[in-house]
Amino acid sequence: MRFHTFPLTAPSISQPPKSLAHITSVRAHRISLRHFIKCLRYQRNPSPLHVFPSSFGIAKTPSSSALLVAPEPSTMPNHGGHCLYLLASLLRRGLPSVALSVLDRIIICSSTPDALAAARYASSLGLPVDPARLLRPLLSSRQFTKASQVFLSFTSLSISDPSLLDSMLLCYCELRDLPRAQSLFDAIIKLKSLPSLASYGALLRLLCAKEQLSHAFSLFIRMAGAGVLPPESSYHVLIPRLCSEGYLNEARFLFDVMLGAGIRPSLRLLKSLVYGFCKGQRMLDAERVCRIMKSHGFFLDRTLCTVMIHGYCREGRINLALDLFKELKERIGCEPDAYLYNTMIYGFLKLNSVDEGWELFHEMVGCGLKPNVVTFNMMISWYCENTDVDFALKLIDTMKSYGLTPNLHCYTAVITALCKAKRLSEVQKWFDEMLDCGIIPDHLMFRLLIKNLPCDHKLWMICKVLDGLSRNGCNINASRFVRLCTSDSDEELQREVKLLFDEMAGYNIIPMKVVLHILLGAVCSRGKFSIAYLLLENMVEHGSEPSISNYNFFIRCLCKEDRIEDAYSLLCHMRRRGVLPNLATYSIIINSHCKRGDIELALRAFDEMIQQGFRPPVDVYDSIIRSLCKAGRMEEAVLTFDRMLEAGVMPDDVIYTTLINGYSKMGKIVNARYLFDEMVDRDIQLSSHAYSALINGLTKTNMFRTAGKYLRMMLEDGFVPDTVLYTMLINQFFKKGDVRLGLDLIALMVRNQVQPDLITFGAVISGICRNVSRHEKMKLSLAVKLEEARCLLFKLLSRNTIASGRLTQNIQCGTTKEKIELAREYIQLLPVVGLVPDLHIYTGMINGFCRANMRNNVNALIDSMDKAGIVLDQVACTILMGAHINSGEIDRATELFNQMNRDGCIADNVTLDTLIKGYSIAQRGMEALSLFHMMRKRGLFPSKFSCHRLLDCLCQSHASDLAFKLFEEMVSHGYMPQHDKYNKLLFMLLEEEGLQAAHKTFDMMLKRGKTPDHEAKKQLLNMCYKHGEYDLALVIDKNIPVYE
């Protein structure tokens, strides 16, 4: 059969028929067309449609609208050839619209390759193929795969139809092809259009299914900015997924938008919010969702109540937890189960309310509920933590009577408590029992044992573990472990490491990560960090990658030994191995920086932690805030506190106490009281430390009556004044110069059977020495307040009836000699009570000797410090430098400063400030100025007193330029020069013809309400007249400021 040659372009259908024969031919063709379409409609077998193979020959066509290439009809089987012939015949007869209808039907019913072949052939004939016309029938019949391939064949064409792109966006969402869906979304936006709600919602659901929740939320924000909100169903998909992945801020935002749009939330959505907020310790948000649940007619079931109660207990809000618990008990069919009772017991134990915990325990048993292992683990752990290990051991027997077997958690608590109590024989007994039960220690137990066991018992512990492993078929040579843990030869250690891992790999029974943890603990405790690195390398060589817990353990050991640079090197090595830091890693690094006082590095690690998607826990925030408070950076501490609240982290009593203590030390008692009241309002359990911190701040600011009010509240809440409170009060009264009251308080403390600790003795000794050379008379108003404070404190603190008179009248402490002897007596008392003097106590004594000008005693004391292995720090060195300066020995002070630097003792701002003052007194202004610039480079600034001393020194040296620059820096820092220093500088500048500098000095002081004396101003005016500066003279005479 031969085919005719078809025209490449369709004839115009607008031309009128030329003859009746032509009309008849067209009618006959329409009849055959109807017959053909009917055949296609009923065609079920796809085999006839394979007449359009995609592999036919390709030839270029002159048609500009051709898709690729037209097939040769002569190569087609019979039915396919007729189909193509029909298309060509329709075009030849001027019926392109009918031809397009036929093409649509062919594409719908064909396989994808055949449909594409037909479209190419039609295009080669000149039939205008509209992509939208071809795709919409496929999309409406849900033939998405075919629609995708047809669409991709049009990629060379520029498609600018937003509705078509939107349909294809929906198509790719159905095909779960996220990259192409996102590409189409961007293409729609570039056309300055927006996707339909259906495709928008489909894209959101696809992003959730692909776990790209941050992108889903960004899409929501982008569309909301254009005024388009997603369909209702999208909220119910997106919000629960955000909650489950911890995107709580985003979930709350979407929830608020949903409520604002008047969409009713489903029960599933509300539950997901409650679970998410409780898990994220955002109980205020969880409470709000619960209220919304009730307003929509839903009620809290037992599961939700349990989650809420657990959240309250974790935050210490036990009253709210108890109210909800009682409400649940009154409901029919919602009676508490064992898990809920365990949750409530956990809440009471967390607050040290063990009696209430036992009441719930007995109530649970009375209700017919059997305590489980978790119940006993909590009780045993609490008694172990509170040093009542004997009762914890009795609980294990009770536990066994219920048919329960202790687990690893239980053994860890008991054995650790026995280690701390030095009951080593019982440690061995319980360790053997644990191994006999087939329980092998985990990394947590290893860490606790290595921390608490004496060095000579760590080896025993390792051998015991190996013995337990050998019972399970792992016959590892224990002697190799012994040599590895005891040898001091690095060469021998390296050899033993390789042999050990070869042996371990041969048995392949015990996980190498467990062995690695044991060995890391052993070698790190002996400071053999190079061998620890070797252990990691050998483990990798044997095909087992160290776990993140192995790396964290090693990093913690390095940080503990103050080897932070090595810790960072290990961190880099870990990253190169593909092991990324986790939450624990960042917490270790941040806490280490905070302990070392490197707050900037801690903040940098803190920011990186958040950028990596980790949510800092409460203890990390506490470390940051504590360090900022200690450094006096309270504004930053409060900003961090606010940042924590914004992140949904609920502060605990420790963080509040830290902030209260920081404000109290700075004398900002209003802020401290506000935070204390906020603790009460938030139902956060108050602690004795919170009360003590606030009372300390009130005492510092001489608000003794208010301090007495809070002390009374503290006693009414059942808190007994402890060593911390007594030490704070003793320290404050010594600072105020009332030595007798400080001594009476420590006597009252002992009488009340409150044991002083080393910090208390340090406060007493330092306080006495601080007042050695104090001879000025106390202000009458302060003396009256202190006597009132004495009466109030003795009334509140005395457990027996004790007169508020002096308890230490027989102690003589009036003269300098008597005070020094008294301080010595307290130092001699330390070994009697089992304490050893520390650096703080020695520093206090050095201060006393320096104030009493007893230099020989200072040298003897330093010698005794050397014998005890105690090295002077920058505080002690600063005290000694001050003594040298007061004695006119500036060279000895300089020598001591240089020795500090050689010993690696970094001078702080007080040290540098002291030396600046010394150089200024000694008229060595250039050296003082050099230290001044050193401080400025470190971000520090000398004290006002030192600046005045240095300015006076420079003026006396007639260094006018330097004096003027120092004056400018002082004023910019808020230091107002004394009037005589101001006049002296002005006279010096005028003498040296420095009219501009003199006028600027005059102007700067004038803006701060200060004017020179009459003579200085007169000379300044004369200088203006001398230089012909009459306008300037008028400005100066009228006291008009000029400079900005």
Instruction: List, as one string, the DSSP characters of 630-697.
Output: HTT-HHHHHHHHHHHHHTTPPP-HHHHHHHHHHHHHTT-HHHHHHHHHHHHHTTPPP-HHHHHHHHHH
Residue 20 confidence (pLDDT): 29
Reference 234, options 271, 210, 206; nearest CA is 206
Residues 270 and 148 in one domain: no
Residues 102 and 236 in one domain: no
Q: Which tokens is 424 given?
A: 């080593």
User: Is pLDDT of 253 > 60?
Assistant: yes
User: Is pLDDT of 14 > 50?
Assistant: no
Q: What percent of the chain has pLDDT over 70?
A: 75
| Residue 68 DSSP label | S
User: Is pLDDT of 34 > 60?
Assistant: no
Residue that wins the pLDDT comparison between 307 and 511: 307
Residue 50 confidence (pLDDT): 36
* Confidence band of 31 (pLDDT split at 50, 70, 90): very low
Residue 79 confidence (pLDDT): 55
H-run or E-run covering 490: helix 490-507
Round to whole Å and give the CA distance between 83 and 51.
9
Residue 497 confidence (pLDDT): 61
Residue that wins the pLDDT comparison between 101 and 914: 914
Q: Which tokens is 789 given?
A: 């404070």
> Is residue 733 one of the residues assigned to a domain?
yes
User: What secondary structure does DSSP assign to 697-763, as a single string?
Assistant: HHHHTT-HHHHHHHHHHHHHTTPPP-HHHHHHHHHHHHHTT-HHHHHHHHHHHHHTTPPP-HHHHHH
Residue 498 confidence (pLDDT): 61
Q: At what angle do helices 408-420 and 373-385 cross, to 10 degrees?
A: 10
Reference 770, options 806, 744, 732; nearest CA is 732
Residue 1037, domain extent = 979-1044
* Confidence band of 960 (pLDDT split at 50, 70, 90): confident
> Is residue 130 one of the residues assigned to a domain?
yes
Residue 902 confidence (pLDDT): 85
Q: What is the mean pLDDT of residues 527-551?
A: 74
Q: What is the mean pLDDT of residues 372-400?
A: 90
> Is residue 616 one of the residues assigned to a domain?
no
Round to whole Å and give the CA distance between 395 and 413.
12
Task: Check if the beta carbon of residue 9 is closer than 8 Å to that of residue 126.
Answer: yes
Residues 89 and 110 in one domain: yes
Round to whole Å and give the CA distance between 92 and 99.
10
Q: What is the mean pLDDT of residues 494-512?
A: 57
H-run or E-run covering 983: helix 979-991
> Is residue 262 one of the residues assigned to a domain?
yes
User: Is pLDDT of 941 > 90?
Assistant: no
Among the ranges 9-13, 216-220, 672-676, which has the highest mean pLDDT value?
Answer: 672-676
**Residue 738 vs residues 253, 615, 786, 814: alpha-carbon distances, Å:** 57, 48, 8, 11
User: Is pLDDT of 9 > 50?
Assistant: no
- Per-residue pLDDT reduced to its tens digit, 716-727: 887 888 899 999
If you average pLDDT over every residue of the chain, what do you get?
77
Residue 48 confidence (pLDDT): 35
CB atoms within 10 A of CB 392: 23
For the chain, the C-alpha Rg in angstroms (whole number) is 42
Residues 1005 and 1036 in one domain: yes
User: Is pLDDT of 269 > 70?
Assistant: yes
Query: What CATH number does residue 906 fall under?
Result: 1.25.40.10
User: Is pLDDT of 737 > 90?
Assistant: no
Residues 29 and 41 in one domain: yes
Residue 104 confidence (pLDDT): 65
- Per-residue pLDDT reduced to its tens digit, 985-1000: 777 776 666 677 777 7
* Confidence band of 25 (pLDDT split at 50, 70, 90): very low
- Per-residue pLDDT reduced to its tens digit, 832-876: 888 889 899 999 999 998 888 888 888 888 888 888 888 888 888
> Is residue 46 one of the residues assigned to a domain?
yes
pTM over the 0.75 mark:
no
Residue 57 confidence (pLDDT): 31
Q: Which of 215-219, 252-256, 479-483, 764-768 has the lowest mean pLDDT?
A: 479-483
Q: Which ranges in 351-388 belong to alpha helices (H)?
A: 354-366, 373-385
> Is residue 25 one of the residues assigned to a domain?
yes
Q: What is the mean pLDDT of residues 456-473?
A: 61
- Per-residue pLDDT reduced to its tens digit, 116-130: 666 666 666 666 666
User: Is pLDDT of 599 > 90?
Assistant: no
Residues 497 and 474 in one domain: yes
Among the ranges 496-510, 751-765, 1014-1028, which has the highest mean pLDDT value?
Answer: 751-765
* Confidence band of 760 (pLDDT split at 50, 70, 90): very high
Residue 23 confidence (pLDDT): 35
Residues 731 and 673 in one domain: no
Q: Which of 124-128, 564-568, 1012-1016 has the lowest mean pLDDT?
A: 124-128
User: Is pLDDT of 483 > 90?
Assistant: no
Residue 462 confidence (pLDDT): 64
* Confidence band of 2 (pLDDT split at 50, 70, 90): very low
Reference 269, options 246, 289, 297; nearest CA is 289
CA atoms within 13 A on the CB side of 151: 26
User: What secondary structure does DSSP assign to 818-873, as a single string?
Assistant: HHHHHHHHHHHHTGGGT----HHHHHHHHHHHHHTT-HHHHHHHHHHHHHTTPPP-
Residues 125 and 21 in one domain: yes
Residues 864 and 800 in one domain: yes
Residue with tokens 């996707």: 195
| Residue 67 DSSP label | -
* Confidence band of 251 (pLDDT split at 50, 70, 90): confident
Residue 420 confidence (pLDDT): 85
User: What sign for the dihedral angle of Cα 570, 573, 577, 580?
Assistant: positive
Round to whole Å and give the CA distance between 721 and 692.
8
> Is residue 818 one of the residues assigned to a domain?
yes
Domain end point (choices 189, 205, 229)? 229
User: Is pLDDT of 521 > 70?
Assistant: no
Q: How far is CA 861 from the centre of its chain?
A: 45
Q: Which of 25-29, 533-537, 574-578, 915-919 has the lowest mean pLDDT?
A: 25-29
Residues 30 and 94 in one domain: yes
Q: What percent of the chain has pLDDT over 90?
A: 9
Residue 47 confidence (pLDDT): 36
CA atoms within 13 A on the CB side of 271: 12
Domains: count for the chain: 9
Residues 891 and 796 in one domain: no
> Is residue 478 one of the residues assigned to a domain?
yes
- Per-residue pLDDT reduced to its tens digit, 620-642: 999 999 888 888 888 888 898 88
Task: Check if the beta carbon of residue 301 is closer than 8 Å to that of residue 271.
Answer: no
Residue 485 confidence (pLDDT): 54
Q: What is the mean pLDDT of residues 452-476?
A: 61
Residues 253 and 325 in one domain: no
Domain end point (choices 870, 896, 918)? 870
Q: Which tokens is 237 given?
A: 């998909």
Q: Which tokens is 1038 given?
A: 């009228």
Reference 353, options 718, 743, 724, 776; nearest CA is 718
Residue 694 confidence (pLDDT): 93
Round to whole Å and give the CA distance between 441 and 433.
12
Residue 54 confidence (pLDDT): 35
* Confidence band of 29 (pLDDT split at 50, 70, 90): very low
Task: Check if the beta carbon of residue 772 is closer than 8 Å to that of residue 851.
Answer: yes
CB atoms within 10 A of CB 390: 12
Domain end point (choices 342, 371, 400)? 371
Reference 819, options 787, 850, 852, 842; nearest CA is 852
Q: How far is CA 855 from the centre of its chain?
A: 49
Residue 39 confidence (pLDDT): 43
Task: Check if the beta carbon of residue 988 is closer than 8 Å to that of residue 958.
Answer: yes
Residue 590 confidence (pLDDT): 92
